[in-house]
Amino acid sequence: MTSLYRGPEPRHVCLVALPDAVISTLSSIFDVLNAFSLLPGRNADRPPFRVEIVGETSGPLQLASGVPITVQRSISDIRSTDIVIVPSIVLKEEGWVKGRYPRLADWVIRMADRGALLASAYSGVFLLAETGRFDHRDATVHFGSAQAFASTHPLVRIHPERVLVVSGDREELVSSGASMSWHDLVLYLISRYAGVTAAQEVARMFALQWHQDGLTPFIPFEGRTDHGDGEIEAAQGRVATHFSVGNAVQEMSKRSRLAERTFKRRFSAATGLTPLEYVQRLRIEDAKRRLERTDAPIDDIGWRVGYEDPAFFRRLFKRTTGLPPGAYRKRFRIPDFARVASDNGTPRSANDNLSRIKK
């Protein structure tokens, strides 16, 4: 791996603060990268990073949540740096407006020209992509913002299912996906510049996690309905509540006013999935909710969502989500101590939630 290290001095990190930034991500990255003075046996006088919060102007700045912070240094005073990190930003209803921060974008370009690594947490890649450095490169972004990002920056190859993407000729472009994947970003930077052992120590101290299974298990399935095909949209509406029947695909086709071959062709063109794939995704999504909220046996859940063969259900679930059903339940199940209490104060069993899920 190519190192951007320029000598014995700590790597200078510019953590960009802008009005749309999220305080939790910005402050967490700041704290973790500055944590080496807290590690036992570490030389506090020679930390691997020197982190500064930078912005268009120094001084007080109110972030998206209304929390004020202090920008330590103006970008006008920074001629070069080792690492630029843009933290999570809040995307308003109108989405990201290109060109809103021209000074910041121009400054990032200058830093990149002088060798800086560009990194983003969650939606910070919207700003970094304005530099053009990510064009025709791989990146990731929160799966909920993937469509908006693709529309805004169509030249960037995005992979919302991936937690962390490192690209560029010098591996100088780093993007992290969903909100808490800032864990992966900071641990990657620590591992890259301070070593694997240091990354492990920091992970233990803060209870940070590598999301090694990717983001696929987190991504909910939402079938496309913006395709403009009324016949297919009607079929989607019907199957949304009847996907567990044994012949769901045939029922969709039969209830439509189209010939079977025409129906399948138009369905695939409209949704991007074959009718069978679409039904499978609906079934697996329902199975995910049951695994999260009930104690029902896995084979019983498979049967309830439409699969009589338990082995096939387990294989399909893993292929779709990246995790076996048991591992998925362990990861996403609400702990007993966090269950909603019943009226008399007794913790409610997960089975009590079964009635909330469609039979």
pLDDT at residue 8, rounded to an integer: 56
pLDDT at residue 87, rounded to an integer: 94
**Chain segment 141-161, per-residue pLDDT in tens:** 988 888 899 999 999 999 998
Residue 2 located in a structural domain? no
Cβ pair 140, 106 in contact under 8 A:
no
65 and 185 share a domain?
yes
The DSSP bridge pattern shows strands 173-176 and 164-167 to be antiparallel
Residue 5 located in a structural domain? no
Residue 215 binned pLDDT confidence (cut-offs 50, 70, 90): confident
Domain end position, chosen among 218, 246, 274: 218
179 and 242 share a domain?
no
Task: Note if the pTM is more than 0.95.
Answer: no
CA dihedral 166, 168, 171, 173 (to 10 degrees): -60
Residue 223 located in a structural domain? no
206 and 253 share a domain?
no
Residue 59 located in a structural domain? yes
In sequence order, the 6+-apart residues with CB closer than 8 A to the CB of 42 are 36, 198
206 and 241 share a domain?
no
Domain end position, chosen among 183, 218, 253: 218
pLDDT at residue 218, rounded to an integer: 83
Instruction: Specify the range with the lowest mean pLDDT, choosing from 70-79, 104-113, 208-217.
Output: 208-217
198 and 57 share a domain?
yes
**Six token digits for residue 286:** 């329902």
Domain end position, chosen among 186, 218, 250: 218
pLDDT at 270 over 80: yes
**Chain segment 312-350, per-residue pLDDT in tens:** 999 999 999 999 999 999 988 888 777 665 445 555 554
Cβ pair 172, 134 in contact under 8 A:
no
Q: Which domain holds residue 262?
A: 230-356
Residue 120 located in a structural domain? yes
Residue 224 located in a structural domain? no
102 and 208 share a domain?
yes
329 and 203 share a domain?
no
166 and 310 share a domain?
no
Cβ pair 321, 216 in contact under 8 A:
yes
pLDDT at 39 over 90: no
CATH number at residue 213: 3.40.50.880
Domain count, the chain: 2
152 and 185 share a domain?
yes
CATH number at residue 294: 1.10.10.60
239 and 179 share a domain?
no
132 and 168 share a domain?
yes
Residue 207 located in a structural domain? yes
263 and 181 share a domain?
no
Residue 6 located in a structural domain? no
Residue with structure tokens 């001629």?
A: 79
